[in-house]
Amino acid sequence: MRRMTARPANAHQARLLKLLRDQGPNSRAQLGDQIELSRSKLAVEIDRLLETGLVVADGLAASRGGRRSHNVRLAPGLRFLGVDIGATSVDVAVTNAELEILGHLDEPLDVRDGPVAVFEQVLAMAGKLKDAGLAEGFDGAGIGVPGPVRFPDGVPVAPPIMPGWDGFPVREALSQELGCPVMVDNDVNLMAMGEMHAGVARSVRDFLCVKIGTGIGCGIVAGGAVHRGVTGSAGDIGHIQAVPDGRPCACGNRGCLEAHFSGAALARDATEAARQQVSAELAARLETHGTLTAVDVAAAAAAGDATSLELIREGGTRTGQVIAGLVSFFNPGLVVIGGGVTGLGHTLLAAIRTQVYRQSLPLATGNLPIVLGELGRTAGVIGAARLISDHLFSPA
């Protein structure tokens, strides 16, 4: 299959492509209702898009009491690759132009193995998806990495948990390997974009997306756009002080949020509790698995283990303290909680909510939903596909 080469020639075409992406097949009339453009002009632009091959005819729609409309849709052969690299696992998915997931793989991985090893694995996973017949090639790829990224050129900068990645030209290297345009961003930002595109944050223009996995980060969406900060490190809330003179953190300070609550901290606390025989439930799991993770704590809590519940509640409270400050500062319309620890579910959510509603100003919390993400581990890859499609569906 010939890969996508054309780009929208102007802002109107870009707008139309994004409408078709977000809403699927549409008739000219439906599109005309949503765009400030006369029918005639609209027809011209759609004809041009049809010529480029980005858009194809999609049969007749049902009549609404008059002449039946001719639908158009994005080219069905377009394929985006979404990659979400975490600290200990990676998700790779193929989507069509409407950002629907056609195939999704996840594998364990150690990001500390460095970019070369990681990309070998990622490319192999992409190859598997191709071999399964889901794509013959990719028109674009979005990549999320667990650290700060200099966004314009797609290069990680000084990532604390990714030694060996500093300055590696991710965008350029992958673009070369895949033979298509690539965009790179922080994994948390992509999760936020995913939830904004297809999750709980649909149509919300100002919100925070807190991702609690191995570490803790926060995607910031202001006015419908991701705020990345001047060096791409915005949202790095894991090292905000949550406990004065608290636990030592890898960053050199004490009391960082991440030192007190995160996937890694929770696993450590649980192991400690198991070893000290504080919790029989956890001790049994340690015996079985040889090591404990957040998943074990979630399972133990679900089984009613008091120690696990207390660990989750305390972590939620710490996290809630920090989020409370961010809510006062940023005044979002929504807070989304996601990431690996989402399995901790409503115990965690309740602790966070309690703390935020107690500490933040009533005006800021009055109508503030705090909810779990809706997309789970697909949020990142959908966000990645969204990132590259936003790029490709903009005038060149």
Where do contacts with DNA occur on this chain (CB under 7 A)? 10, 12, 27-30, 36-41, 43, 60, 63-71
> Which partner from the list DNA, a second copy, none does 41 bind, CB cut-off 5 to 8 Å by kind?
DNA
At residue 178's C-alpha, the angle toward residues 233 and 220, to 5°, is 20
> Which partner from the list DNA, a second copy, none does 52 bind, CB cut-off 5 to 8 Å by kind?
none
Which of 86, 235, 339, 373 contacts a second copy by CB under 8 A?
235
Of 83, 175, 92, whose CA–CA distance to 132 is shortest?
Answer: 92
Tokens 């995160």: give the residue.
Answer: 262
Pair 294, 340: CB distance under 8 Å: yes
Q: Strand, helix or coil at 134?
A: coil
Sign of torsion, CA 308 312 317 319?
positive
**28/268 with CB nearer DNA:** 28
What is the amino acid identity at position 317? T
Residue 185 beta carbon to a second copy: minimum distance, rounded to whole angstroms? 14
What is the amino acid identity at position 9? A
> Which partner from the list DNA, a second copy, none does 396 bind, CB cut-off 5 to 8 Å by kind?
none
What are the residues whose beta carbons fall under 8 Å from the beta carbon of 45, sequence distance 6 or more? 10, 12, 13, 16, 37
Tokens 């996508």: give the residue.
Answer: 4
> Which partner from the list DNA, a second copy, none does 152 bind, CB cut-off 5 to 8 Å by kind?
none
The footprint of a second copy on residues 316-335 (CB under 8 A) is 321-322, 324-326, 328-333
Residue 63 beta carbon to DNA: minimum distance, rounded to whole angstroms? 4
Q: How many residues does the chain have?
A: 396
**What tokens were used for 373?**
């993400």
**69/354 with CB nearer DNA:** 69
> Which partner from the list DNA, a second copy, none does 40 bind, CB cut-off 5 to 8 Å by kind?
DNA
* Binding interface with a second copy (CB under 8 A): 148, 157-158, 160, 206, 218, 220, 222-223, 225, 227-237, 239-241, 243-244, 251, 253, 321-322, 324-326, 328-333, 358-364, 366-367
